[in-house]
Structure 1
Amino acid sequence: MSYQQQPAHHPSGADQTRTWATLAHLGGILAYFFIGWVPALVIWLVHRERGGQAAEQARVALNFQLTLLVGLVVAKIVENLPAIGVIGWIAIIGIGIISLVLSILAAVAVNKGGSYRYPFSLELVR
């Protein structure tokens, strides 16, 4: 009896790049906890010298998450103000939901082989 060893399936470079780009966007799920920018930053730092889709989409995700981080910090400050604190609380929840929805939409678009641009984002990282 002989056994033929199946060759291990190694994802192609394009598949890996698409996976990293997808993960950069999915990091936005963590925005409510003020750390949604961390996965995009790590992926951008690793891939920026290589260029390509992973670096570009990580940069796009990082810019969006940093924009949301600014909004979250402002909302947190407003939340601690008397009389209008509820506005900050509502803003934090709203920003978290926006980040969740747009990050998932971006991840799906990138995973299908496309690219994604968020409807609003400061260009802090170039």
Structure 2
Amino acid sequence: MTTDEKNWGMYCHLAAFAGLLIPFGNVIGPLVIWLLKKDEYPHVDMEGKESLNFQITVSIAVMVAGALSVVLIGIPLLIAIVVFTLIFIIKAIMETNEGRSYRYPYNLRLIK
């Protein structure tokens, strides 16, 4: 695996932080990188799908927790989702930076 391929795989996970700047950027960022580089690098294809699936899963969880915040249980759920998402993304970035693949726990694998 080349350094370029390893870096683009890491960027797939790093792009999820775009959600801090724009709505649904956490999905759009990994999607753009995956679409641009999936045919060029097999590792990026695998990491891009993994990151994209995780960000879709997180988006669904945030919407459900947001709806549950009306009855106040959603607020602690939102906090937990944010904390665990940050931990998993940082772990994925570190793993892919070393050239290893990362599989998120609790991930709906919608894109195969």
TM-score band, normalised by shorter chain: 0.7 to 0.9
Q: Give the % identical residues.
A: 29
- Displacement of 1:21 in angstroms is 1.0
Structure 1 or 2: larger helix share? 2
User: Is 1:99 aligned with 2:85?
Assistant: yes
Task: Identify the match of residue 39 of structure 2 among 49, 65, 69.
Answer: 49
| TM-score, structure 2 normalization | 0.86
CA distance in 2, matches of 1:23, 1:40: 8
Please, what is the CA RMSD of the aligned residues? 1.9
Query: How many pairs are equivalent?
Result: 110
Name the residue aligned to 1:23: 11
Please, what TM-score do these two structures have when normalized by structure 1?
0.77
Long gaps (5+) in structure 1: 1-12
- CA apart distance, 1:31: 5.2
Conserved 8 A contact 2:5-2:41: no
Note if contact 1:31-1:99 (Cα within 8 Å) is conserved in structure 2: no
**For residues 1-126 of structure 1, what are the structure 2 equivalents within 5 Å?**
14-29=2-17, 34-79=24-69, 81=70, 84=71, 86-126=72-112
Deviations 1:22-55 (A, max 9, x none): 1111233455764322211111111222341112
Unaligned 5+ residue runs, structure 2?
Answer: none
Deviation larger for 89-98 or 28-37: 28-37
